[in-house]
Chain A
Amino acid sequence: NAGVTQTPKFRILKIGQSMTLQCTQDMNHNYMYWYRQDPGMGLKLIYYSVGAGITDKGEVPNGYNVSRSTTEDFPLRLELAAPSQTSVYFCATTGLLSYGQYFGPGTRLTVT
């Protein structure tokens, strides 16, 4: 039981490049989230999903896209990377009967 896994752990992108951050969970949770964490700012919600095929924007969605084709996977796509997207990205999940959210280990992204 791996919980929530994220790949890659680290990535350096050049401005304008694109990439996909992967998130996979094996807890059969309905809800999945993407947060970004910037120093001194806490975590901000980018996108969330309440189930396969259903996604919606969070507080800071600009510059990102998501999809949810299966219960297990919730990838986050950056199409045209910008320095403002330099951050640590966390994927989280929760179930209908869960308390709190379960977080992955994070992906540290640098855009230069």
Chain B
Amino acid sequence: AQSVTQPDIHITVSEGASLELRCNYSYGATPYLFWYVQSPGQGLQLLLKYFSGDTLVQGIKGFEAEFKRSQSSFNLRKPSVHWSDAAEYFCAVGARSGGGADGLTFGKGTHLIIQP
């Protein structure tokens, strides 16, 4: 069975500082990996995705993520955070590009707090 672990429940970062959110997955085949962001009271928005090719993927809002097969990780990074980045971040894995018949398996999320 596939699973996703986000080890950090909360992370606090100063505005302008760099950010790394950790994600580890368990999956038997080549995974489709995603990062979503959820602002308070909102739905989930896709930040970026990985399914093959270059292991460093770029997303929206200045985010990037690196796939490391040997570590079963897909960590999200941003060089300089803005106050508007404060949100909940979810890592997800699926069997197909859209999740397919089984949907996506989500981690429990990391709550990002931005200090002024």
B98–A43 CB distance below 8 A: no
Cβ of B97 under 8 Å from chain A: yes
Cβ of A110 under 8 Å from chain B: no
Which residue of B4, B9, B104 is within 8 Å of A40 (Cβ)? B9
Given A40-B108, A40-B109, A42-B107, check contact A101 B99 (CB 8 Å).
yes
Rounded to whole angstroms, the CA-CA distance of A105 and B90 in the bound complex is 16
Given A99-B51, A101-B104, check contact A33 B42 (CB 8 Å).
no
Interface size on B, residues (CB 8 A): 25
A33–B109 CB distance below 8 A: no
B10 CB to closest chain A CB (Å) equals 10
Cβ of A48 under 8 Å from chain B: yes
Cβ of B101 under 8 Å from chain A: yes
A101–B98 CB distance below 8 A: yes
Rounded to whole angstroms, the CA-CA distance of A92 and B100 in the bound complex is 12
The residues in B between 46 and 94 inclusive whose CB is less than 8 angstroms from any CB of A are 46, 49, 51, 90
Rounded to whole angstroms, the CA-CA distance of A35 and B43 in the bound complex is 11
Rounded to whole angstroms, the CA-CA distance of A31 and B96 in the bound complex is 12
Name the residue of chain A whose CB is nearest to the CB of B6: A42
Rounded to whole angstroms, the CA-CA distance of A13 and B96 in the bound complex is 36
Q: Which has the most chain B C-beta neighbours within 10 Å: A43, A45, A58, A104?
A: A43
Given A41-B108, A99-B49, A100-B34, check contact A31 B43 (CB 8 Å).
no
Contacts of A58 in B (CB 8 A): 103
Cβ of B11 under 8 Å from chain A: no
Residues of B within 8 A of A (CB): 4, 9, 32, 34, 36, 42-46, 49, 51, 90, 97-104, 106-109
